[in-house]
A and B are shown apart, each in its own frame.
Chain A
């Protein structure tokens, strides 16, 4: 049986019919064509599929699309502003915080929320904040650096 749901994705209300078992990650990627959200493990450990649900980072592979009917979702495609890359995205580029880029959307969503809640995190807070996201390429050093840099860029903006 299929369910008709509405997801407000990156500000746009999107109606879609899904079976109850449709994972939010698959709904975003395959029903709505937003393939920026990646799927790395489908058991909630790698964090590649992290999106913002009503502003909070969550695993889209551990969420059924139908459960979040009517809610707001921000994916990596929605992070950039009208003026271009967000400070977090710019910081990742500046600090070489990505290599293959597969884990990157999950990190960007996680870090965007992290810095909103804690605009000037310590090194330990950064590591704790990104500790649920796996990266196999960077060794995290430049990601950590990018989070601090993003905090600086955000502070400059405000």
Chain B
């Protein structure tokens, strides 16, 4: 299991990276924790590999009142320990194992777009976005940049909106409003495995502690993270009196899990409801304490 040959590029700055991407077809290497296994198994054989690990300007975590911007080289563990965003922290603790998180990157996980992965669901439930840049030589010097919202970013299993000449330079996770709680619940076969199903929830209470908004994003139960707004099912009630069974029914109805060697579709459907109930009520509790 050795990777196939490729031409290796090690740009020193973003401009150089984008120029390379404009000229060749290849794969971008950041943490490599998903890409290198695929290369080692020769399930992928890119002609060019563009290693962005030397572009220090991408190794950033910026927090503003609006939210957190995570650069393409920020490792899972750095973001996890930065405390930059509560839901990101909750999700990152479920991503693989600590050693993998030392190397893997948040943006890399988003671009990899595994429907069973946690971080795409976080971006989706928060309505976050990914910033994509491409070489701007044709139109002047500055890179051309576009922000793609989560709803458009994940286009299918292992497929994202990143075009071949684009580099995902950062991801933006909006900050949570006041009286908001979050939770991430999942069931995996082994600790650290991709979830059989998982749900992350964001619940915001109004001043009377009634549910003002409630959203979930589900992993492992569709081709992309499935977001469901269950605010109306919560019926503006105080969290304690919400009919969670009705809410989880709505979540179940929105998902289309498939069976695989680890779990049947029926089991995943059951799980996603159970986990949605758990995640939503936990998020609501946290919101009340906020």
Contacts and interface: CB of A to CB of B under 8 A. Distances in A.
Q: Does B associate with A?
A: yes
Interface of A: 1, 3, 19-21, 23, 26, 42-44, 47, 50, 53, 56-59, 61-64, 66-67, 110, 114, 128-129, 131-133
B103 A62 contact: yes
Given A3-B8, A44-B33, A110-B99, A66 B51 contact: yes
Contacts, number: 91
A11 B32 CA distance: 25
A47 B33 CA distance: 13
Of A42, A44, A128, A132, most B-chain CB atoms within 10 Å: A44
Contacts of B3: 21, 23
Given A20-B6, A23-B2, A62 B97 contact: no
B29 A58 contact: no
A64 B192 contact: no
Interface of B: 1-8, 10, 29, 32-33, 36-37, 39-41, 49, 51, 53, 77, 96-100, 102-103, 191-192
Given A3-B8, A20-B6, A64 B99 contact: no
B89 to A, nearest CB: 15
A67 B1 CA distance: 19
A63 B1 CA distance: 14
Given A50-B99, A67-B29, A132-B99, A62 B2 contact: no
Contacts of B96: 132
Given A20-B8, A23-B3, A132-B192, A63 B98 contact: no
Which of B5, B41, B99, B191 has the largest count of A CB atoms less than 10 A from its CB?
Answer: B99
Which secondary structure dominates where chain A touches chain B? mixed
B100 to A, nearest CB: 6
A132 B96 CA distance: 8
Contacts of B39: 21
Nearest to A110: B99
Contacts of B29: 64, 67
Contacts of B2: 21, 23, 26, 42
Contacts of A131: 97-98, 191-192
Contacts of A59: 33, 99-100, 103
Contacts of A3: 8
B4 A21 contact: yes
A117 B243 CA distance: 43
Nearest to B191: A131
A105 to B, nearest CB: 13
B51 A57 contact: no
A44 B6 contact: no
